[in-house]
Amino acid sequence: MPITAFIVEKLRGLANRLDAAATRRNACDSSRSGSGPVLDEYIVGMPGAQNAINVLPGWHQSFPPAIGVVAGDSAFYQDPRIAWALEQHGSIENQAILEFGPLEGGHTYFLEQHNPAFIHAIEANKLSFLRCLITKEILGMSRAKFFIGDLMQWLQKTEVHYDLIVASGVLYHMQDPLLMLELMAKRANAFYLWTHYMSDAAMPQDDPRRGALIGEIEVRDFHGLPVRLSKRSYYGAWRDKSFCGGMHDLHRWIEKDDLMAAIRALGFTDVRIAHDEPDHRNGPAFSVFARREA
Ligand SMILES: C[S@@+](CC[C@H](N)C(=O)[O-])C[C@H]1O[C@@H](n2cnc3c(N)ncnc32)[C@H](O)[C@@H]1O
């Protein structure tokens, strides 16, 4: 290339870079001064909690009225299921708590109000994890740490012994719920579950809630017990930004009686149930609290 053409090309490149820098400077100036259009990724107005909520639309949970924000409808921060779990367990003051599937952190906040030493809350969904961090900031939580990733990996790798595991709304989303129970039993002597279950009595063959089931029932050996597992699919529901199910499309529900027997087979002698809702719109569901001698 002749030297003059080379110099012209260099000068043109420099001019383009100067133009781009000027455009960026103007954009910043106009958002600072409040005039002109605001770029997509910026939030205008007085900084505050509602702005933080609005960053990630699709909330399920509401916040305590004193916070003064509009988010979702479910008051997980005062969920009677968690209140029941704590009544069964007794005080969690200074205890080590493991929570699975915190969703948006409402249950975590409830637990934190009872002064545990710490809460490890494991959430696999990216948007849910970010909503948990927003909740943590808005509610000023200090004893909970949120981790993003698969709870099964956490159970396999952590060396922490927990005083209580809270697994609300999670077991029935697992590909291998029996392995989850087995691993939980290695990490704690007490746990709380809220879970859907299978039951022909509660959900007869013509029940529309069976629509998500796929294939034949599997029977697995679990500590010498035959356990019936029903395979299910989400049928694309996970495409919704509010989806709060599992990380694999194929997941399994356990037969109610078999679940109770499996928990006892793991050495949990004190097993209590509550909130049994055979007619729950998504399928029969109940709460289980289980404890065994340390
Ligand atoms: C149905 S929601 C339950 C939310 C809340 N715990 C409750 O009881 O209402 C299930 C939650 O578990 C999370 N989850 C599902 N599979 C998970 C996994 N393998 N590891 C960690 N979190 C998971 C989902 O993203 C979601 O937040």
Which tens digit of pLDDT belongs to each residue from 133-171? Answer: 999 999 999 999 999 999 999 999 999 999 999 999 999
**Mean of all residue pLDDT scores within the chain:** 91
Residue 167 Cα: closest atom of ligand 1: 6
Ligand 1 center from residue 180 Cα (angstroms): 13
CA angle 186, 188, 189 (to 5 degrees): 105
The pLDDT score that the predictor gives to residue 31 is: 44
Average pLDDT over residues 251-274: 98
Judge if 103 and 13 occupy the same domain. no
Is 204 a member of any domain?
yes
Is 184 a member of any domain?
yes
Is 56 a member of any domain?
no
Average pLDDT over residues 188-200: 98
In angstroms, how far is CA 95 from the centroid of its own chain? 21
Q: pLDDT by residue (tens digit) across 36-80?
A: 889 989 998 899 999 999 999 999 999 999 999 999 999 999 999
Judge if 21 and 155 occupy the same domain. no
Number of domains in the chain: 2
Extract the tokens encoding 45. 């107005």
Is 194 a member of any domain?
yes
Q: Name the residue with higher pLDDT: 19 or 49.
A: 49
How far is Cα 20 from Cα 122, in angstroms, rounded to an integer?
43
Judge if 146 and 236 occupy the same domain. yes
8 A C-beta contact, residue 169 and residue 144:
no
Judge if 22 and 117 occupy the same domain. no
106, 63, 64: which is closest to 83 by C-alpha?
Answer: 106
Judge if 111 and 221 occupy the same domain. yes
Is 57 a member of any domain?
no
Is the pLDDT score of 6 beyond 50?
Answer: no
Among 109, 111, 170, 172, say which to mutate for ligand 1: greatest number of ligand atoms within 8 Å of CB.
170
Ligand 1 center from residue 247 Cα (angstroms): 9
Judge if 74 and 22 occupy the same domain. no
The pLDDT score that the predictor gives to residue 175 is: 98
Judge if 14 and 123 occupy the same domain. no
Is the pLDDT score of 22 beyond 80?
Answer: no
Domain containing 35 equals: 3-42
Is the pLDDT score of 3 beyond 80?
Answer: no
Of all protein residues, the one whose alpha carbon is nearest to atom 16 of ligand 1 is: 246
Is the pLDDT score of 89 beyond 60?
Answer: yes
Whose structure tokens read 């696999």? Answer: 124
